[in-house]
Structure 1
């Protein structure tokens, strides 16, 4: 009968939402649900002060700006509360080869023609000796290089933030509680299930309290207590493409002015991040335990710090991959509980917000149905696969063979979807973006060219320009960017004026 069929789930109305776990994912979930549906729902977040959060996701991408706009948050207020700085992209150092650097910025490069992307005209210009570096035609990239920033008219500057993840969760908690969300302190001792439907009915805490609900949001991090451990959703392991499985994180004093970009510095078996905030710097070393032991990785990190450590280094183990489902029954996993790639392109917070927006669009107010679950999971898998391919690209396309790690990365067999993109660009210079894909054509171009992948040909549209016309076309773009960047204040001066935060005591 229908009421006993877990595929139909009985269509029980959702009136009580329980969020298991706090941190960035938990409080982002509480913020969205309470802001949009707080008047119609009972929203409870369960977290324990005794359980730490990963809390190192301090670099973001521009989509977070739209998330804050949906919540009607004041940008300067958020930045002050989280000791935030601006981010225009990522500096990849030693990735293509030792001593060779490039920047993947958030900006669009050059001006496209309807028949062909800007890279074709740039490529022809390089052949004729008329073009400078590809990055010279991108406003955000040049601004990042020179350490400059400002909000510009018509939102022509694409940017994101570096922020303190712990302070961000604290800010969102206060916001959520203002819209009726309740926080319950306690460790989850047992997840209660309904024998007939297999759904979660409540969370029993260590103090004996029972928190009952209709829909449960799993924000328990790598433990995936509800979706993985309780609901038994299996994990797709992607370590055959993404070798890194360990991170060591440490905070240091801020030395000098914070730059408006994240630094990703490649080492022998991984890479080091450096993320400048207003009051300190977030640092870490992401590496593969197969190719480097923890003691050596720790020493590399400590030897390459700038400024005195403010915290003890913390080691974090992870498995790159994704749950086969992010929504099963009445459990939706948000954040690390649903999967994790690695932080190289700062996509973790983006994936949290995307799944929350997706959940709001499919919110089962009148009861959970199979079609919503299937559509949700299909969209999640499609989006994460695109991001996975983009991250693998950084390792596959390299000239490095100086260590076994880099040699293995360069020689690995990658997903067919990524291999097609690589072949297409190498053979034709073309890049096409799939509908709904996170990273733009410009992102793919900046990374592929930065990593040393050069197209063998260009579109014939570029051949129709004579030297004078092509030189004028390229020069006008570069000069406009140079004039704009020269008028920008320093990043530090702008932060001080726009969102200066009090130094924590």
Structure 2
């Protein structure tokens, strides 16, 4: 019996479907035939208008010209997220894509900073972060430097609808076939239980050897047909709805996302070339849909361009994103609120993982189990990072925030917090998506400062430490003078 995977069928379009189609076809080429079925009758959920730096790897693999990408998706550059009111009302901090200072082989920079902080020799850690400096000044440039200390990692803000359309154009140019239609029935093999075919409204039948479920929250294949089950994490992340509305762009386009804590949730503000993306993530136990929409509209700071749109969701993950000959990607595989702009990355990593394990000659249980294991770890690590923002709040203005500050947390997160609070140790395990610098910034921003620091940080005298910090800050600030303002960069780079 020939078990070779020759025909892949993707159910659903949007970012998940078209990114899956583009990457699979680009990497596997003529080895597989790829068909994507979607219906214009089903609106796609806009999965994030903000990204994180690994998205650049997707663009490079697909051979995408960055300037064209920025024009087609009306994108802007993203250096960081600014968290406002999360620790206490009126206080804020940045989570940048960069890293503060410079570390030695055995002692990370923040240990020197902690020692200086305790001695009254230094103020903010972010003074030594180039991404932070550029974000605050509204500047951006693509730095060409061999000095890793002056790297300025970045990502993008873009129009999610335009991004999906752009990926569709890329996919179809590579040879992906699109079929318009509603899936009415999923045909399973009576002996093996694997998916054999999809029956569309109007009578068309799509057969395949392998299926990618990008049907969104419905989980048409992975849940409705195969019933893999769902791990509900709403006891840790209780927000279950979002209301979104576009608004007029500001005169000056910031190179960072804003995440603003509100009494019963948080608001995002994402700057694009042609508009702002806005939304309020909230818990329906504490806020009605009408109240959420009114609160969002009252805090836009620019005129709305459409009516507010409500999305309902449940935080958690599919227990087995790969079952039989089906892999779930995007919202069908799980959902974690967009607090750290991870939605698109989770699509990307799912497809990259599948490509590494692609079952060309047949599906093997050990490979499926390893894929599911790595998927579970990734979701749990992102989950813990999101919980961190909520659990360490010191707000006292609503039951929503008070309950979150008192909740029990996963042991994996508790262990990380203890190590950092006691000795400034940053723990990163199992290819955690978030680097040590990310954990550092959020833990400091949410009020944890280590009680102790690495002994190597004591090797300098107070004078040497002061000079070291001053030199580091000067080095980090040096590139700023040559950086244009963000809008000027976009205009010049895209030819706009």
2:116 maps to 125
Q: Secondary structure at the match of 1:436?
A: coil
1:270-308 Cα offsets, whole Å, 9 max, x none, are 100000110111100000111222121111101001222
Aligned ranges 1:262-411 → 2 under 5 Å: 262-411=257-406
The match for 2:133 is 142
Deviation per residue, 1:95-125 (Å, 9 max, x gap): 0100001110000111112222211110111
Give per-residue Cα distances to partners, 1:352-406, cap 9 Å, x unaligned. 0101011111111111111111111011011111111111000011211221111
Q: Residue 125 and residue 202 in structure 1: after superposition, are their counterparts in 2 closer, same or farther (change >3 A)?
A: same
Q: 2:12 — aligned with what? A: 21
> For residue 449 of structure 2, what is the aligned residue in structure 1?
454
Q: State the TM-score, normalizing by the size of structure 2.
A: 0.97
Cα distance in 1, alignment partners of residues 109 and 315 from structure 2 = 34
Q: Secondary structure at the match of 1:92?
A: strand
Which residue number in structure 2 is paired with residue 30 of structure 1? 21
Contact 2:87 2:447 in 1 (8 A): yes
Distance (Å, rounded) in 1 between the aligned partners of 2:459 and 2:135: 34
Structure 2 distance, partners of 1:43, 1:158, is 34
Q: Tell me, yes or no, if the aligned pair for 2:15 and 2:47 is still in contact at 8 Å.
A: no
Q: Residue by residue, what CA displacement relative to the aligned partner does 1:110-157 show, whole Å, maximum 9, x if unpaired?
A: 111222221111011112222131101111111111111000013811
How big is the alpha-carbon RMSD for the aligned residues of Structure 1 and Structure 2?
A: 1.1
Q: How many residues align?
A: 492
Match of 1:488 in 2: 483
Name the residue aligned to 1:214: 209
- Tell me the secondary structure at the aligned position of residue 96 of structure 1: coil
Q: State how far apart, in whole Å, the 2-side matches of 1:222 and 1:305 are.
A: 28
- Give the secondary structure class of the aligned counterpart of 1:184: strand
Asked whether the equivalents of residues 82 and 167 of structure 1 are also in contact (C-alpha less than 8 Å), the reply is: yes
Equivalent of 2:54 in 60, 63, 66: 63
Give the 3 Å change call, closer, same or farther, for CA 316–112 of structure 1 in structure 2. Answer: same
| Alignment match of 1:154 (pick from 145, 149, 156) | 145
Secondary structure of 2:85's aligned partner:
strand
**Structure 1 residues 500 and 422, CA, compared in 2 at 3 Å: closer, same or farther?**
farther
CA contact (8 A) 2:84 2:259 kept: yes
Match 2:191 to one of 196, 203, 207? 196
> Match for 2:251 among 252, 256, 260?
256
Write the distance in 1 (CA, Å) between the matches of 2:63 and 2:432. Answer: 25
What runs of 5+ residues in structure 2 fail to find an aligned partner? none
Paired residue for 1:89? 80
User: Which residue is 1:6 aligned to?
Assistant: none
Indicate if the aligned counterparts of 1:271 and 1:287 stay in contact, CA closer than 8 A. yes
- Residue 498 of structure 1 is matched in structure 2 by 493
Q: Is the 8 A contact 2:37 2:180 kept in 1?
A: yes
TM-score (norm 1): 0.96
Q: 1:226 aligns with which of 215, 221, 233?
A: 221
Q: After the TM superposition, which segments of 4 or more aligned residues of structure 1 sit over 4 Å from their partners? A: none
- How many angstroms apart in 2 are the aligned matches of 1:76 and 1:129? 46
Match of 1:236 in 2: 231
- Residue 239 of structure 1 and its aligned partner are, at CA, apart by 0.6
SS in 1 for 2:206: strand
Shift of 1:487: 2.3
Distance in 1 (CA, whole Å) between partners of 2:401 and 2:2 is: 52
2:461 corresponds to 1:466: yes
Q: List alignment gaps of at least 5 residues for structure 1.
A: 1-9
How far apart, in 1, do the equivalents of 2:451 and 2:118 lie? Answer: 12
For the residues of structure 2 that align with 1:241 and 1:301, how far apart are their CA atoms? 24
